[in-house]
Structure 1
């Protein structure tokens, strides 16, 4: 199966591309904007476009609409870190072939891709029913809540794929300060690398929340 992956979390895209490649799938392109996703589909004519729902600019729904209209051979599977019933309905109204959670294990995502490729429609049942059947509960504390505002800012830059030097330039601090923040983040999150941090955030459904962190890093 030939796949194009489109998600603005660069490290997640890299990790997913590597994992799916290891399972025998051919990842034709891994891009980070809806516009690039549309262009990659036009260029590679993949079997499946795996696209995030939300982006800092643009929308995965717009990419899905364009691909479904102009490239009917390509099936569209949407990834989400949230549980908005409105967004789910909008995606289904467009005619997407799958709507699944980022927090799923890569084997579950691969199984969903296989079902879609065979002509089935796949919608995560938790997303389909959860918001209607589960009572509202207070939000539990997450590893992000244990970080200082400056560490949260560094984590956002890490998730965005920034190198140490890029973080230094962005925050106007020394390399040793960045390394100290990164080490503190890893300790508090219980991970040992950027990829492990991104994997944990994805598993906990926190990637989009990290993407929403804003601050000046002071």
Structure 2
């Protein structure tokens, strides 16, 4: 499983997030992420419920008091995988609509500030808090032919999320990632302006004049002893 892009500095940010409104609408289910790709995926999903997590706790945490406390704060973890035979064609407006639905449900959207055009995966994180506690987390990774959504229903402190990495099927933390609030859609650069392998092959820009043919470089002649002066 891919490494998760969560940096400890992001966790401190969550502690100061605004509390969730009591009447916030219910967030979209993990299967809704299929709408942000134009192709139909091969889809699989499974959920670890509270009883399964409690059974795994003894094997994973041993006698660790912190581990048992964190496991007790987990209600369920759902893993949803989307696989595509061809390059996944991500739909920007559809992603914006889904993100708006999560934000309307009280989630805070975070992205990796260190992402670049060579990154093999794009990582988005949505967090919903109540007071100083995290009640829901959604991690979405998008690649060439695979998209994975991990949804966590919990009641944990922000720093507990760091300890979850590498347990219960949650990926390891990527120390090079710095998760920051996602920019508003109006200030985000056009998708085509930021090529990424997760968008599939990048088509050449239309109506671009071809580069002028290169001029032959002058040949320098080195005089020998028998050359005329």
TM bucket (normalised to shorter chain) is under 0.3
Q: TM (normalized to structure 1)?
A: 0.25
* Bigger relative CO (Cα 8 Å, ≥ 6 apart): 2
Higher-strand-fraction structure: 2
Q: TM (normalized to structure 2)?
A: 0.24
Higher-helix-fraction structure: 1
The structure having more radius of gyration, on CA atoms, is 2
